[in-house]
Structure 1
C-alpha cells in the first residue's frame, strides 16, 4: 500500500483554508465569512473570537494568521491564544505576537503594545510555518475561540429563503423565522457568503445586481446577545437577461441517477432542474440495468419507461398521457436533454446487487455486448442514451459474490463493448479503488482495458464503514492517508497513483465523491480511531445517511485525510462537504484527471450545493 502524500493533503487543506474554512472545534469565522466557509454551526462571539486563516502556501511552507476581535462591551487587557498543530507542522517565525510551543500545543501572547482591545476592535498576528498547517482546539484567554457563553443557546436556522420578483438587477427574498430562548433580534442576509444586509423583518430586496448572473443567498439569525446561529439553506438565484448560463466546461462532471429513487426517496428527473444541477453536470449514469442470463436486461420496467408523470412532476410541465409510447424516467430524461442539450446520458448496468451475472455473461463477450447494445439502442429510447457504463463489482475478485474469470476478463469485456458500440458511443466502467498489495486493482487488467474505455469511474468511497461494527471509526472517503488510518492504501490518492502506474491515462480517470456519509453509534471519541457498538441509524439503511440530512443533524466538526467527520452525541459520521469537495476537485486538476463523478443525486440538498461545489472546483 502506498504511504500518505503529505503534499497532496496539504494542498487540499490549503485550498479549503484559502476559502476561510476553519479547522477543528472551537474556532469561528468572522461574521461576514461564516457562510462562505460552510461552517453552519459556527457561533458569534459574546465576548471575543479568534479566527485562523491560512494566507498562502508555497509547497515547502505556508503563512498563517490569527485575527482576534472583541465583540463584548468591556475592554480586553492582554490576550493569549492556544491551539494544536499536527506533529508535522511547526512555526518557524512570527510577528506581532510571541509564539512558543510545548509539543503540538502552540501559544501566542500579545506584545504589550497590542494587548488592549476596545469593544469592537480587532488585532492580528502572523507566522510562517512548515507542514500541513491545520489548527484545532483553539482557546482565547482560556475560553472557547468562538466566544459563546455557557447556558446561552444559539438561535435556530431560519428557513431557506424564497426568491421572487427577480429582475435583471434585483431579487426579493423572504424566509420563515428562527427561534431562540431569549429572542431573535435581527437577521443577516448573505450573498455568495458575504453579508449584504442586517434586517429586523423576514424579507429583504437585494438590488444593484448584474443581469444574467448566478447568486447564492442564505440567512442567519442574531439573538439579543448578538450570537449568530447556523445559516439557512442556500437559495440559488439567476437574474434575468444576460443570455444562457455558462457552459459546464471541459471536465467530466457526472452523477448517478437511480431508478428506485422515484419511490421512497421521491426523487425525479425534474429535481435535477429545480436544484440547479442540470446546468452544471455534463453526464448522467442511469442506474441500474440488470445483468442476467448472459445479457443485459431492464432493471425496473415501471420506473424506467411506464410510470406516468403529472404536469407538476414533469421536466417540461406537461403530463403524460395513457397512450403515449414512452413514459417513466426514460421520457423525463429525453425531456431533460431537450432542455439541456449539453448533457450526455449513459445506461449503467450492474452495481453491487446485480454484478453477479457478469461472470456468466463474459463466457461469450460478443453476445453479451450485442444484447446490451440492442437494449440501449431500443427504438423506443435510443435517442435518450449516448452510451453504456459497466459497473461490475468486481472482475476476478469478490464483492457480493466472487468471480474467478481471470485478470484478462476486464480487457476482453471493454474490447467487446467498444467493438459493438463503436466510436460514436461512450463506453465506460465503474471500477474498484482498492490499491492494497494484491488488492482488487491488481486482480484485473485495468491498464490494458483502458485503451477501449472513454473513462473509469474510480469508486473512491466506501473504504471504511460500519460493516466493521466495532470500528475503528474512519472516514469512508479519505483523499489521502493519515496517521492511524486502518489500512494505508485505502484512500483516493493511492488508487489514482496505482491506476496511473498500471498505464491508465490520467484523463481517463474520474475521482469519485459520495453524496452521503457512513457512521457508527456507541462512540465516545471525537477524533477518528474510536471504538463503536454498531452502525448508526439511517433513514433507509443502518450506517449510511444522505448528506442533506447529516449536514444539520450531525454537522462536521473536523477534517482528516481531506474529508470531513462529525461526532454528535454517541454517533460518529464521515462525509464530504462543499469545502472538502473543493479540495478534492483541486486534487483532480493537479493530477490531470478527466473530472469527477458522484453517487448519487438524491443525497444532495434541494439546491444542489454539493453539485455546485464540484462544478466550481473543476472550472
Structure 2
C-alpha cells in the first residue's frame, strides 16, 4: 500500500491482484481540504511499463501516461474527512508501482518524482516447438503448437506464411486457423513467441503443408429405360421439362443386349432405340421425326445432349433380363476381343442397322450391368470362371475404348448383396473403371413372405433378416472393404417402392416385419403382381390413403394401410437428402437413380439429391 498526502487530500494506492503481465488495483483519496466536495476530478501518471485497460466507479480518459478520472455523479459528493475510490486493471512489464503527480480538482501536488523504472526485460521467449497441422480444407489450415516459456511471461504469438515479413496471424493462444488459401497449394509456416516487452523468439522449425484439392463434383447418374416411351409415355423430353437433365452428370440408356457373343442392337429393342416416330410434342426440340434414318430414343438422346453439353450418355449393357449372354461371350480371350469390338462398333462408332455411323457421337462410354457374374440368378447359370473373365472383359473394354478415344467412359453396376459382389474382383476392377454404381435397392420385395425395407440406409435392431446385412450402408461398406476407392463408388437410390398386400398389422400396428399374402399389384401391373410402385404414384395416390411413418434407424419412410393391408417401402425427398449427406460424409462418388421415369413431374427425388450433394 502506498499513501501520499496532498494539499487537498490523501491518496492511497493498493494492488488487489497481480500476475506475470497484469495487475488490478484501487486508488482511494480522503478529503482533507476543510470543505465538502460536490464533484471531484483526479489526475495521475503511471510508471513506465504500466497501462490501464479498464476502470470502474469513474469516468476515465488518458493521454499518454497521464490519466484523468471524474466521478460518476452518484459518488461525486465527498464530505470533509470522507473518502472516494475507483478501481482499475491493466498490464505491466515486470513491476507494479504507485502512481505519481496526483491532482484533486486541479490542485497540483508540486513535484513528486516518479518511481524508478522497472528493470528492462531483454530476454526473448523460448523457441516454439511442436508446430503441427490439426485439420485442413481446400481453403484453410488449422495449426497448433506447444506453449513457449519466458522469464516474465509470453503474451502472444506471430504466425508467418511462406517468406512474408508480416505475420499472417497474431493469436494469444497456441492454435490458429489460417484462411483465404488456394486449393491444392503448398504453404510453409513458422511461429514466433513474443512477450510484453516486445521480445520475440527465433522462428520455429518450418512446417510445410498443402491444402486439400477442390472436391470433384458428385456424380448424378440416372437410368433412362428404352421401354418407357410405351405405356409410361416417358420420353427424353421429360428429362428436360422436369429439370432433371440439368441436374444429371451421366445418363445410362438401358439396355443393350448381348446375344451370340456380340452386342446385337437388332435383337434388343430396335423400335424404341432407333425407329420409333416421335411427334413434335414428344421431341426434345419440338421437331417431329420426318423419316430420317435415326429416330427413336437415340435421336432424342442426341438432341438432349445438344441442349445439355455437360451430360455424358452411356449405353448400359445387360440388365436383369438380358445378362444371360455375357458368360459365353467373355469365356476366352478371343471371344472377349470380338465381343468388346462389336459393342464399340455399334454404340461408340454408331454403326446400327439403320446406317453406318448414324449413332456416332451419342454415347460417351459403356456401362456394364451384368447381373451377375458367377451367380446362378435370373435364369443364367453362373460359372466360377466368370469371376476372372469379368475382370478380363473390363480390361479389354478399357483397352479398346482408349484406342478409339481416350476419355471414353467405362462403368459397371454392382449388386448390394455380398453373395453377389464377393464374386467379382473389386480390388482390381477400379483400375479399369471410371466408377461403380451399387444397386442398393431390392434388398427385400414380394418374394419375401414378410414386409421389410427394400432400400434402408442402415440396418435395424429388430430386423429379423439383419444377418443378411440388408442395408445400403453395409453394401457400401462391403465395397469399400473390398478395395474400391470411395470416390469411385456411386450409391444407388430407387425412385420406386416395393409393396406387399394382405400385410398383418402386428403388435405395433404398422405392419413392419409382419406376414403378408405376397407382392402387391403395382401401379403398372397388368398380368402379374410385381409389388412395384412409382414414387409419383405413392405420393399422389397411396400416401393420402395410408399412414406414413419414418423409421429412425432405417432412415427411410414406409406406408401402411390397415384397411387394405398394403405396406410399401420407398424413398421420399427427406430420405434422399439423408442419403445425400451420407454420400458427402463418406466422400463417395455420387448417386445413381433407377429409374428416371418413376420420379414425379417435378423431378423431386433427383432434385432432393442434387440439393444434398451441391457444394
TM-score class, shorter-chain normalisation, is 0.5 to 0.7
Query: 1:388, CA displacement in angstroms?
Result: 0.4
Query: Which residue in 2 is equivalent to 1:558?
Result: 550
Contact 2:366–2:410 (Cα < 8 Å) also in 1: yes
Q: Distance in 2 between matches of 1:495 and 1:447?
A: 15
What pairs up with 1:452-467 in 2 under 5 angstroms? 452-467=432-447
CA contact (8 A) 2:503 2:511 kept: no
- Asked whether 1:571 is paired with 2:566, we answer yes
Secondary structure at 1:500 match in 2: helix
Partner of 2:295: 327
1:73-99 per-residue CA deviation (whole Å, 9 max, x = no partner) reads: xxxxxxxxxxxxxxxxxxxxxxxxxxx
Of 277, 285, 289, 2:244 maps to 277
Return the offset for 1:396: 0.9
Which residue of structure 1 aligns with residue 277 of structure 2?
308
Cα distance, 1:366–1:452 mapped onto 2, change above 3 Å? same
Query: Among 512, 519, 528, which residue is 1:535 paired with?
Result: 519
- CA distance in structure 1 between the aligned counterparts of 2:431 and 2:326, rounded to whole angstroms: 20
Residue 249 of structure 1 and its aligned partner are, at CA, apart by 7.9
Establish whether residue 584 from structure 1 lines up as the match of residue 568 from structure 2.
no
Counterparts of 1:477-496 in structure 2, within 5 Å, are 477-485=455-463, 486-488=465-467, 489-496=469-476
1:548 and 2:536 aligned: yes
Matches within 5 A, 1:207-246: none
The correspondence for 1:369, drawn from 340, 343, 348, is: 340
Matched, 1:352 2:320: yes
Contact kept? 2:441, 2:492, Cα under 8 Å: yes
The question of 1:293 aligning with 2:273 is answered no
- Greater relative contact order (Cα 8 A, min sep 6): structure 1 or 2? 1
Hey, what does 2:383 align to over in structure 1?
404
Does the CA-based 8 Å contact 2:330-2:390 persist in structure 1?
no
TM-score, length-scaled by structure 1: 0.58
The answer on whether the counterparts of 1:523 and 1:571 sit within 8 Å (CA) in structure 2 is yes
**Contact 1:409–1:444, Cα closer than 8 Å, also in 2:** no
In 2, are the aligned partners of 1:410 and 1:446 still within 8 Å (CA)? Answer: no
Whole-Å separation in 2 of the counterparts to 1:441 and 1:387: 23
Q: Deviations over 1:557-593 (max 9, x none)?
A: 2225121111013110000000000000100111111
Deviation string, structure 1 residues 87-146 (Cα, Å, up to 9, x no partner): xxxxxxxxxxxxxxxxxxxxxxxxxxxxxxxxxxxxxxxxxxxxxxxxxxxxxxxxxxxx
Counterpart secondary structure, 2:524: coil
Residue aligning to 1:517: 497
- CA deviation profile, 1:330-382 (whole Å, cap 9, x unmatched): 11111111111110100011000001110011122111111111111221112
Residue 527 of structure 1 and its aligned partner are, at CA, apart by 4.5
Q: Within 5 Å, give how 1:65-144 maps onto structure 2.
A: none
Report Cα offsets for 1:422-477 as digits up to 9, x if no partner: 13210000111113xxx222112122111101111100000001112x21x11100
Structure 2 Cα separation of the partners of residues 517 and 249 of structure 1: 31
Shift of 1:484: 2.5
In 2, distance between residues paired with 1:535 and 1:432? 22
8 A Cα contact 1:291 1:350, kept in partner: yes
Residue 405 of structure 1: how far off its partner (Å): 4.1
Determine which of 396, 401, 413 is the counterpart of 1:430. 413
User: For residue 223 of structure 2, what is the aligned residue in structure 1?
Assistant: 256
Q: What SS does the aligned partner of 1:385 have?
A: coil
Task: Provide the rounded CA distance (Å) in 2 between the counterparts of 1:460 and 1:524.
Answer: 27
Once the two structures are superposed, residues 184-208 of structure 1 have per-residue CA deviations (whole angstroms, 9 ceiling, x without a partner) of xxxxxxxxxxxxxxxxxxxxxxxxx
SS at match of 1:255: strand
Rounded Cα–Cα distance in structure 2 between residues aligned with 1:387 and 1:328: 20
Give 2:488's aligned residue: 508
In structure 2, the partner of 1:210 is: none
Give distance in 1, aligned partners of 2:512 and 2:601. 30
Q: Does 1:394 align with 2:372?
A: yes
Distance 1:405 1:359 in 2: 10
CA contact (8 A) 1:412 1:449 kept: no
Give the match for residue 476 of structure 1: 454
Partner of 2:176: none
SS of structure 1 residue aligned to 2:410: strand
Larger Rg: 2
User: SS of 1:254's equivalent?
Assistant: strand
How many Å separate the matches in 2 of 1:315 and 1:285?
Answer: 17
Aligned mates of 2:421, 2:289 — CA distance in 1: 45
Q: Evaluate the alpha carbon distance shift between residue 466 and residue 294 of structure 1 in structure 2; reply closer, same or farther with a 3 A threshold.
A: same
- CA contact 1:447–1:502 (8 Å) conserved in 2: yes
Structure 1: state its 5+ residue gaps.
1-247
Deviation at 1:493, TM superposition (A): 0.9
**TM superposition score normalised by structure 2:** 0.58
SS of residue paired to 1:453: coil
Moved more, 578-587 or 534-543: 534-543
C-alpha separation between the residues in 2 aligned to 1:409 and 1:493? Answer: 28
Deviations 1:208-249 (A, max 9, x none): xxxxxxxxxxxxxxxxxxxxxxxxxxxxxxxxxxxxxxxx98
Cα distance in 2 between the residues matched to 1:307 and 1:443: 39
Distance 1:442 1:384 in 2: 34
Equivalence for 1:596:
591
Q: CA contact under 8 A between 1:288 and 1:350: conserved in structure 2?
A: yes
Of residues 395, 413, 423, the one that matches 1:443 is: 423
**3-state SS, counterpart of residue 383 of structure 1:** coil
Secondary structure of the equivalent of 1:317? coil
| Cα contact 2:318–2:370 (8 A) shared by 1 | yes
Q: Distance in 2 between matches of 1:310 and 1:552?
A: 28
Output the CA distance in 2 between the equivalents of 1:529 and 1:327: 48
2:203 alignment partner in structure 1: none
What secondary structure does 1:354 align onto? coil
* RMSD (Å), alpha carbons: 1.4
Cα distance in 2 between the residues matched to 1:482 and 1:552: 28
Distance 1:402 1:270 in 2: 39
**Post-superposition offset of 1:614:** 1.3
